């Protein structure tokens, strides 16, 4: 019985240690969600405003018979896809759902070129022996414009000369408890023309349209990174909260089991003492 109680105490200590870790990770993830959410909220309005400005420029360009390669399908035959995943685990369904979406995309486009962001995406694509054009590991713990610029340059290196179109797979942040994987076309740009009357553009319209398109695309990539990172921390917070709650339930059960085993041991000792006393009384 003493051996059993020691085993239970050892399990209680181990569970308490795990609970301390999961609770600490929950607290960190909750703080990260607040910080990343602020960055995301500030990034979204820029995208909307840039889209409207670009739509006005595009409308004026089309009226003048002007086109730009970023708005037309690429010259290549291949398809590229930017996969935004995580560098770390312990984030529940986040990595699994992104990997599943990437696998479905590969089934639809067997020769797709993958641009993998995050160690989890890189490992998954390697195991499936899919073509990885670029790898970005531990590059965006805190999304910033510098990394978004790197992605932009790498994508434009392949579009429009090498790839027909480029898609993106990421997790969209819809709320504290709701995050969904999205598959969207990134290039060519899908922007509706907005009539804006007579525009005075300086310098020439084609040049301004090209710069505006790149700026809009940069903002889109940054927003996508912010969406993905906010979703990752939100899912990790949920996972760590569930793990902490499970640890609390297990601790409660183990504590009851320990007290029960201890009481049984005490009862057995009392019975042994009473039996010995009775035997001595009979001998006397």
- Structure confidence by residue, pLDDT tens digits, 90-133: 888 999 999 999 999 999 999 999 999 999 999 999 999 999 99
Q: What is the mean pLDDT of residues 9-34?
A: 92
Asked if residue 132 is part of any domain, the answer here is: yes
Q: Looking at residue 200, which CATH number applies to its domain?
A: 3.40.1380.10
The pLDDT mean for the chain works out to: 88
Quick one: tokens of 144? 């910033």
pLDDT band at residue 242, thresholds of 50, 70 and 90?
very high
**Are the beta carbons of 240 and 22 closer than 8 angstroms?**
yes
Is residue 262 included in any domain, yes or no? yes
- Identify the domain containing residue 252 by its residue range: 2-21+241-283
How many domains is the chain built from? 2
Residue 220 is predicted with a pLDDT of 94
Residue 215: exposed, middle, or buried by beta-carbon count in 10 A (0-12, 13-18, 19+)? Answer: middle
With contact defined as beta carbons under 8 Å apart, do 127 and 108 qualify?
no
From the list 123, 104, 102, the residue with the least C-alpha distance to 114 is: 102
- pTM here is 0.86
Identify the residue with better confidence: 203 or 79.
79
Identify which has the larger pLDDT, 6 or 249. Answer: 249
Task: Say whether both 75 and 182 belong to one domain.
Answer: yes
**pLDDT value for 271:** 65
Within this chain, do residues 73 and 132 fall inside the same structural domain, yes or no? yes
Q: What is the mean pLDDT of residues 239-253?
A: 93
The reply to whether 209 falls in a domain is yes
For the chain, how far is it from start to end, CA to CA, in angstroms? 32
pLDDT band at 225 (very low <50, low <70, confident <90, very high): very high
Residue 34: per-residue pLDDT:
92
3 pLDDT exceeds 80?
Answer: no
Residues 165 and 212 in one domain: yes
214 against 274, higher pLDDT:
214
Tens-digit pLDDT profile for residues 254-283 = 888 888 877 776 677 676 676 666 666 766
What residues contact residue 31 under an 8 Å CB cut-off, 6+ apart? none
Q: pLDDT by residue (tens digit) across 164-206?
A: 999 999 999 998 889 999 999 999 998 877 766 565 565 677 7
What number is the average pLDDT over the span 132-148?
A: 92
Average pLDDT for 206-235? 92
Q: What percent of the chain has pLDDT over 90?
A: 57
202 phi and psi angles, rounded to 5 deg: -140, 125
Pairing status of strand 78-84 against strand 113-117: parallel
Region of 65 on the Ramachandran plot (φ > 0 left; ψ -120 to 50 alpha; else beta):
left
User: Does residue 190 lie within any of the structural domains?
Assistant: yes
Alpha-carbon gap, residue 263 to 8, rounded angstroms: 14
Tokens of 208: 């301004």
Give the residue with greater pLDDT, 137 vs 48: 137
pLDDT for the residue numbered 200: 56
152 and 203, same domain (yes or no)? yes
Query: Are 138 and 263 within one domain?
Result: no
Cβ neighbours of 228 (radius 10 Å): 30
User: Which among 60, 29, 21, 48 is positioned nearest to 238, based on CA atoms?
Assistant: 29
Report the CATH number at residue 10.
1.10.287
Q: What is the pLDDT of residue 165?
A: 96
pLDDT at 1: 57
- Residue 18 has what pLDDT? 93
Is residue 30 assigned to a domain? no
Q: Are residues 98 and 234 in the same domain?
A: yes
Confirm whether 70 is domain-assigned: yes
Tell me whether residue 166 is in a domain. Answer: yes
């Amino acid at each position: 019985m003493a051996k059993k109680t020691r085993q239970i105490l050892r399990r209680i200590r181990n569970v308490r240690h795990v609970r301390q870790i999961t609770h600490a990770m929950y607290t960190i993830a909750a703080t990260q969600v607040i910080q990343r959410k602020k960055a995301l909220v500030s990034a979204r309005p820029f995208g909307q405003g840039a889209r409207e400005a670009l739509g006005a420029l595009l409308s004026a360009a089309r009226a003048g018979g002007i086109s730009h390669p970023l708005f037309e399908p690429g010259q290549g035959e291949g398809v590229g896809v930017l996969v935004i995943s995580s560098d770390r685990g312990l984030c529940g369904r986040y990595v699994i759902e992104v990997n599943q979406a990437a696998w479905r995309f590969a089934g639809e486009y067997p020769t797709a070129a993958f641009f993998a962001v995050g160690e989890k995406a890189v490992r998954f694509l390697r195991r499936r022996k899919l073509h990885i054009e670029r790898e970005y590991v531990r590059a965006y713990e805190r999304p910033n414009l510098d990394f978004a610029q790197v992605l932009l340059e790498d994508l434009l290196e392949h579009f429009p000369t090498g790839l027909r179109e480029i898609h993106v797979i990421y997790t969209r942040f819809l709320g504290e408890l709701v995050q969904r994987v999205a598959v969207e076309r990134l290039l060519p740009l899908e922007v509706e023309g907005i009539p804006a009357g007579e525009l005075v553009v300086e310098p020439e319209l084609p040049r301004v349209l090209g710069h505006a398109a790149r700026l809009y695309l940069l903002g889109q990539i940054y927003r996508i990174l912010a969406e993905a990172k906010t979703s990752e921390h939100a899912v990790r917070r949920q996972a760590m909260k569930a793990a902490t709650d499970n640890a609390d339930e297990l601790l409660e059960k183990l504590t009851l089991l320990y007290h029960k085993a201890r009481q049984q041991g005490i009862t057995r000792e009392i019975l042994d003492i009473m039996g010995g006393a009775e035997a001595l009384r009979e001998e006397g």
